[in-house]
Structures are given as structure tokens and as C-alpha cells.
């Protein structure tokens, strides 16, 4: 836990960042299968920040969340004794993560340079999506790009890139703990590391399922030019729940967090029971005193 404390905090910071962006700061309302978006968050409604940078910031927060998962698996990978080729030097890590972050930043920026006027773009999408909600025609509803294929392609490439790296670290780590013998690693230590890797995998799978599966459905809807406002709403609601699910999984999967949380709850409960017992004792004494006075 000591070696993983920093990366777990990083994971939860990225979770918090994504939650606050989707639910509070930007709050996008998307009209699939178009790239028309109404922003309802305070950064746009009250601070009047530019539309496209906010949309880009929101999408980039998804990539940052995915990168925090990659970092979690890479850290576990780097401490397994039987793995020969791993990244432990600071310079190597700096080069690797600089490349990884720049890849996502550049890839997800490419389709934001479309300068098609909003009215023209909306008219173009009406050929695909002839009966949008009335909010589609609102002046606050703007269009990111008319090239839907480019948007889906860039998001797919960024997603595959992160998933491939995270899967490599997770699979190689699990293989070495399960199949490769080591004289320098006791069975107890190996079992602890393997259990922790399983727990981390489950913890990562929960937000991954809550985020990237809806995003994949989102991409398919864009690519196939299909429309379902119910599905749009389900996608956004599912993404907004990932933070709660991630925190619950952290508490139940990792014993130190579980012991600390349950300890707080039980300590508070015992304190309440102690106070109630004290109050009951005082009430009984007062009742006895009043009976004696009455007699």
C-alpha cells in the first residue's frame, strides 16, 4: 500500500475531476448522432468561457482518468521482482508519461479545428437527424465538428492506445506472479501482491465499465448515425455514477481502507451507544430521586 498510495490518490483525484467537470463545471447535453452540444455548467453559463475549449477539456478529463489507471498498473508492474524489463528510472518514466499524455492531448484535439459556422453545421446535421428536440435550435447549442468520422476515429485511437498499455502491464504482472518462480520472493509476498493486483483490476474495471462502455456506445451511435435521446441520457447518467462506484470498490476491496472506514463507523456507533447509556443512567437516577422526593 505504501508504494501504491500516491497512484491511488492520483486515480481518485482524476475521478473527482471527471465527476466535477461532467456534473458541475461543463455539464454537456449532447444531441447524438450529431456533435451538437448544449453546455449547462457554470463555466459556460456564468463565466462565459469559450465553447470548444470547454468541450475539449471535458473529453480530455476522460483521457486523464484512463491514464491514472495505466499508471496504477505500471506501478504494480515495476515492483514485481521477476520482471526484468521494467521502468524504474525517473528519466525513463518522465519520457514515457510525457509521450503518453502528449499522444492523448494531440489526438483528441485534431477534430476541434473544424471552423464550419454553427448555422451551416446544424443545417447539415438536419439531413441526418431531421427531428431533434427544440433545444437543438437554441443559440446556446453549438457544434464541435461536422466530420463525425474523424471524431469517432480519434476517440477510438486514444481509447485503444490507453487500453493496450494498461492491459500489457496488468497481464505481464499477473503472468509473472502466477507462472514465473522466484527465489527472492516468498510465497506469502507473492500471494499478497497477486491479491492486490486482483483487487486493483476489479477496482479499475468498475469505472472502466461505467465510462468506456457508454463512450463506446456513444461512438457507435455517432458512426452509424443512429439516434436515441433515452440512450443519450443513460450514457451521461452512467458516466456520472462512476465516482461513487469507484469509491465503494476502494473501501470493500482493500483491507486498510475497509478497516479504517468500518472502524470509524463502529467507533461512532459505540460512542453514540455510550452516550445513550449515560443519558439513560441519568434519567433513571432522576426518576428515582423524584420518587424519593414525592414520598
Residue 281 in domain: no
* Short-list 187, 212, 249, CA closest to 67: 212
Task: Check whether 217 has a pLDDT greater than 90.
Answer: no
* Short-list 58, 63, 154, CA closest to 111: 154
Per-residue confidence band for 235, with pLDDT thresholds at 50, 70 and 90:
confident
Please compute Rg for the chain using Cα positions: 26
Task: Check whether 20 has a pLDDT greater than 50.
Answer: yes
- Rounded Cα distance between 212 and 190, Å, is 31
Determine the average pLDDT of the residues in 156-182. 84
Question: What are phi and psi for residue 82, nearest 5 degrees?
Answer: -80, -10
User: What is the distance between the terminal CA atoms of the chain, rounded to a whole angstrom?
Assistant: 66
CATH number at residue 211: 1.20.1070
- Whether the Cβ atoms of residue 226 and residue 31 lie closer than 8 Å to each other: no
State whether residue 29 is helix, strand or coil. strand
Residue 186 in domain: yes
User: Left if phi > 0, otherwise alpha if psi is -120 to 50, otherwise beta: which for 44?
Assistant: alpha
- Rounded Cα distance between 54 and 49, Å, is 7
- Rounded Cα distance between 87 and 288, Å, is 74
Residue 213 in domain: yes
Per-residue confidence band for 276, with pLDDT thresholds at 50, 70 and 90:
very low
Residue 142 per-residue DSSP state? E
Residue 91 in domain: yes
Over the stretch 39-54, which tens digit does the pLDDT of each residue have? 988 999 888 899 999 9
- Number of domain units in the chain: 1
Residue span of the structural domain in which 43 resides: 5-253
Amino acid at each position: 500500500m505504501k508504494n501504491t498510495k500516491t497512484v491511488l490518490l492520483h486515480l481518485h483525484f482524476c475521478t473527482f475531476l471527471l465527476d466535477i467537470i461532467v456534473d458541475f463545471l461543463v455539464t454537456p447535453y449532447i444531441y447524438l448522432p450529431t456533435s451538437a452540444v448544449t453546455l449547462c455548467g457554470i463555466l459556460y453559463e456564468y463565466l462565459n468561457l469559450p465553447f470548444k475549449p470547454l468541450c475539449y477539456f471535458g473529453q480530455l478529463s476522460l483521457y486523464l482518468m484512463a491514464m491514472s489507471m495505466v499508471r496504477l498498473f505500471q506501478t504494480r508492474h515495476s515492483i514485481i521482482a521477476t520482471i526484468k524489463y521494467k521502468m524504474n528510472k525517473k528519466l525513463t518514466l518522465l519520457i514515457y508519461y510525457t509521450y503518453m499524455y502528449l499522444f492523448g492531448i494531440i489526438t483528441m484535439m485534431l477534430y476541434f479545428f473544424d471552423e464550419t459556422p454553427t448555422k451551416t453545421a446544424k443545417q447539415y446535421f438536419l439531413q441526418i437527424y431531421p427531428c431533434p428536440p427544440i433545444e437543438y435550435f437554441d443559440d446556446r447549442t453549438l457544434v464541435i465538428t461536422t466530420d463525425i468520422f474523424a471524431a469517432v476515429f480519434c476517440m477510438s485511437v486514444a481509447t485503444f492506445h490507453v487500453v493496450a498499455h494498461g492491459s500489457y502491464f496488468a497481464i505481464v504482472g499477473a503472468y509473472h506472479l502466477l507462472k514465473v518462480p522466484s527465489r527472492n520472493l516468498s510465497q506469502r509476498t507473492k500471494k499478497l501482491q497477486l491479491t492486490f493486483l486482483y483487487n486493483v483490476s476489479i477496482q479499475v474495471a468498475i469505472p472502466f465499465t461505467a465510462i468506456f462502455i457508454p463512450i463506446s456506445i456513444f461512438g457507435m451511435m455517432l458512426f452509424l448515425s443512429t439516434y436515441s435521446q433515452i440512450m443519450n441520457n443513460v450514457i451521461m447518467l452512467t458516466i456520472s455514477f462512476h465516482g461513487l462506484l469507484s469509491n465503494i470498490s476502494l473501501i470493500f476491496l482493500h483491507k486498510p481502507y475497509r478497516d479504517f472506514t468500518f472502524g470509524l463507523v463502529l467507533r461512532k456507533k459505540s460512542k453514540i451507544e455510550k452516550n445513550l447509556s449515560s443519558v439513560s443512567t441519568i434519567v433513571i437516577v432522576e426518576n428515582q430521586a423524584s420518587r424519593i422526593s414525592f414520598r
